[in-house]
Structure 1
């Protein structure tokens, strides 16, 4: 009986080529592991002296996704900050930094503040998101925005938004107005 089974099997397998690999071809192109490792390494390397228009990353204040943000420059009235926190100062512009890289967010934020200064805007909203990261670390853009706003000379203060405007995923930012030439006040 054993010989019969073997001969039937061998007869059925005639012309079949042996597979020399234990991996299935899924049709998906494989990523080059060396190339991925190289990209990750280059993305992680940022010179410690990199500054874009004064916004530094040498020290970043880590904040949690649900942390409420609040900061005021010396001399800013507490009553003004209470109004800002309550959403009683209407924002005249808004920027959304969701899904951006840190570098791109920094560039967009700086350009946004330049435009706000040119238009003499008093209050803006910056949406940074909460970004619950898969690796369990703190939100990247939120932490950087929290640090950058403290460094920017035009920023007088900021506070997390009311829930209807983004809650702890956004901040109201009180800006210093630049007095333009030829303006009577």
Structure 2
């Protein structure tokens, strides 16, 4: 009796629903996106340029402009007005952030300096101070010619950057020739 009832219920259901058609097969899930292409040649060129730059610190070149411990760092792009540079040189523009490279080796100092400048730029800072020391702290801070390694690294790296308007060794009250005040270009505004 139960079988007749189930058959009647099934027949009743089919008549109420009407004709049916099978559902289409499920579409396959989307494939994982392909990785973005990388500029491997540019990455290799960048790494090679960094290595060349690092090794250039120890290469002895006559008249290369290497700085001694007491020499002042100084650089100004032409578009920066001279009165603004004079204010920087006198220490009248206050540093908004500071990086101390004491105790860092050359590779670490370079990485710290690049990250610090990138962060300062991203946060819209106008002036920063970098303490590099005078190179009188021992053999770790001078090269084979007795020149201050970190000071020359900072000088070279700052001169290469397009976002640096000017820099000058700090006045004696702010670190003297063991520190440098850096004036950054304002960030570009996106339209």
The TM-score normalised by the length of structure 2 is 0.64
Name 2:53's counterpart in structure 1: 56
Name 1:158's counterpart in structure 2: 167
Structure 2: runs of 5+ lacking an equivalent: 1-46, 58-64
Report the secondary structure of 2:128's partner residue: strand
1:160–1:167 CA contact under 8 A, matched in 2:
yes
CA–CA distance in structure 1, aligned partners of residues 73 and 186 of structure 2: 22
Residues 21-40 of structure 1: pairs in structure 2 closer than 5 A: none
Does residue 1:124 correspond to 2:128, yes or no?
yes
Report the secondary structure of 1:71's partner residue: strand
Task: Say how many residue pairs are matched.
Answer: 133
Report the secondary structure of 2:103's partner residue: coil
Report the secondary structure of 1:104's partner residue: helix
CA–CA distance in structure 1, aligned partners of residues 186 and 56 of structure 2: 27
CA RMSD, Structure 1 to Structure 2 (Å):
2.2
Structure 1: runs of 5+ lacking an equivalent: 1-47
Name 1:73's counterpart in structure 2: 77
Higher share of residues assigned helix: 2
Report the secondary structure of 1:174's partner residue: strand
Name 2:112's counterpart in structure 1: 108
The TM-score normalised by the length of structure 1 is 0.66
